[in-house]
Amino acid sequence: MRKINRAVKIRIYPNKEQITQIEKTIGCSRFLYNRMLADKIRHYQEEKKMLKNTPAGYKKEYPWLKEVDSLALANVQLNLEGAFRKFFQKPGVGFPHYKSKKHLRKSYTTNMVNGNICLQGRFLKLPKMQPIKIKLHRMIPEGWKLKAVTVSREPSGKYFASLLFDCENQTAEKRQAEKFLGIDFAMHGMCVFSTGERAGYPMFYRNAEKKLAREQRKLSRCEKGSRNYQKQKKKVALYHEKIKNQRKDFQHKLSHSLAEDYDAVCVEDLNLKGIAGGLHFGKGIQDNGYGQFLSMLGYKLEERGKYLIKVDRYFASSKICSVCGHKKKELALSERTYLCECGNRMDRDVNAAVNILKEGKRIYKKCA
């Protein structure tokens, strides 16, 4: 049985001393990343060769780097090398950029070496600091080995630790699919099913938009750096965090329900970034988080030995009649009801979902 990585995110409650150490480690990691990147750029401009620099080479010049976890600094080097590797290997990935001090979400990663990280009941032991109080919402299964921890601070000021475990793959064996479902992306309600039902996503961001705008106006009136500014900034961040948590909760529950009820789910392989930018639907697409939902659905189906079948994005699911198979030459986005010469009259999105279901079944039979 092959090994896989599983992550568990938990809330941590550091005291003042621990917060200072966490913030110091985050700051040192950011500084080292930027300095190493600047040195690589300068060396290449002068010598036309890539500089192989390491964190150890900077500790003499900056002795305060010794005050933080050395493994966190080692991960900085790995992250920078990974950023350059992606830049050279993947055409769409941009050149590595400097990390800003003003970035809202901050984090660092450290690795497990000789028991330097461990869970001790309701506490988490991390290098260079005393055990931190945690809230463990679920028991860690026996046999899971802790590999690494990413400590992060959210814009709301809350601290989290993402625990990465090495464990045996518990994925069920693939079985014959009998129950199929087609899903079509929809701007309102997130998606539509081939059964005729809608996901019914409540559009959490849209509903909270007025309240959020009011709080952001209050923030803009505060003097930057003042105590009231910091309080209002945290209030705005908490609103955004609540919306994000509501969205994730809805998507986890829906994806779990579909993974339990169906053997194979057929979806379109959409370019959501292109739709958001090209058609100016950015806010709506980011609100419903359809891409994140598909990611959740994919791994939940995989765990159960089921299938997520992706239909080509250029498949004309909206233009084809799901009853007779006739394909329209043109179909305006404003036409929300599909009308066909054969007499078929149905919701445009439901018609598309049925076509995705049929195409998904064809792909499954071809690959089976």
DSSP string, 198-222: B-----HHHHHHHHHHHHHHHHHHS
Q: Which of 69, 215, 268, 359 is flagged as catalytic? A: 268
In a domain, 77, yes or no: yes
Q: What is the pTM of this model?
A: 0.83
Active site residue 287: no
pLDDT, tens digit (0-9, with 9 covering 90-100), for 166-184: 887 666 778 888 999 999 9
Burial class (CB in 10 A: 0-12, 13-18, 19+), 248: middle
Q: Which of 184, 263, 287, 359 is flagged as catalytic? A: 184
Active site residue 17: no
Active site residue 349: yes
Are residues 262 and 362 located together in one domain of the fold? yes
Are residues 214 and 139 located together in one domain of the fold? no
Q: Which of 69, 287, 349, 359 is flagged as catalytic? A: 349
Are residues 271 and 302 located together in one domain of the fold? yes
Are residues 141 and 249 located together in one domain of the fold? no
In a domain, 173, yes or no: no
Are residues 163 and 184 located together in one domain of the fold? no
Range of the domain at 312: 180-367
Q: How many domains does the chain have?
A: 2
- Domain boundary among the residues 168, 199, 233 is at 168
| C-alpha dihedral, 186 to 188 to 191 to 192, nearest 10° | -90
Q: Is the separation of the CB atoms in 168 and 1 below 8 Å? A: yes
Confidence of residue 90 (pLDDT cuts 50, 70, 90): confident
Are residues 153 and 31 located together in one domain of the fold? yes
pLDDT, tens digit (0-9, with 9 covering 90-100), for 299-319: 899 888 899 999 988 888 888
pLDDT, tens digit (0-9, with 9 covering 90-100), for 183-227: 998 878 888 999 989 998 888 988 899 999 999 999 999 999 899
Are residues 204 and 315 located together in one domain of the fold? yes
Are residues 164 and 184 located together in one domain of the fold? no
Structure tokens at 86: 């992606």
Are residues 247 and 123 located together in one domain of the fold? no
pLDDT, tens digit (0-9, with 9 covering 90-100), for 8-55: 999 999 999 999 999 999 999 999 999 999 999 999 999 888 889 999
